[in-house]
Amino acid sequence: GDSVTQTEGPVTVSESESLIINCTYSATSIAYPNLFWYVRYPGEGLQLLLKVITAGQKGSSRGFEATYNKETTSFHLQKASVQESDSAVYYCALGDPGTQVVGQLTFGRGTRLQVYA
């Protein structure tokens, strides 16, 4: 089956430092999966952070970036300078763009990020 592996948390960084959360995927039945990063802030539900559906392209949102690398099957999340408000749990996920398996995302286990002032 499909799977997503991401950096095991918690990840602790100081404000204004750079961040990278690794994500690699295995999609046995999907040639070109759609890739996502979701984030869950304290007390809130998951929300989409960014999405990339084309290999080689980069997605960005709220200062975060992730590049779809099909060669290394990776989709690492990066930010040049984190803020305390970025403290949350980040989930990498993949989805099947084919219509026969719709609406289902395979999530990673999540990476808790704690940013200290």
| Measured CA distances, 39 to 4, 85, 91 (Å) | 15, 12, 6
Provide Rg for the chain, Cα atoms. Answer: 14
Catalog residues that contact another protein under the rule CB under 8 A: 4, 34, 36, 38, 40, 43-48, 51, 91, 95, 97, 99, 102-110
Cβ closest to another protein, residue 87 vs residue 108:
108
Distance, in Å, from the CA atom of 41 to the CA atom of 62, rounded to the nearest integer, reads: 14
Q: C-beta of 102: minimal distance to another protein in Å?
A: 5
Cβ closest to another protein, residue 38 vs residue 75:
38
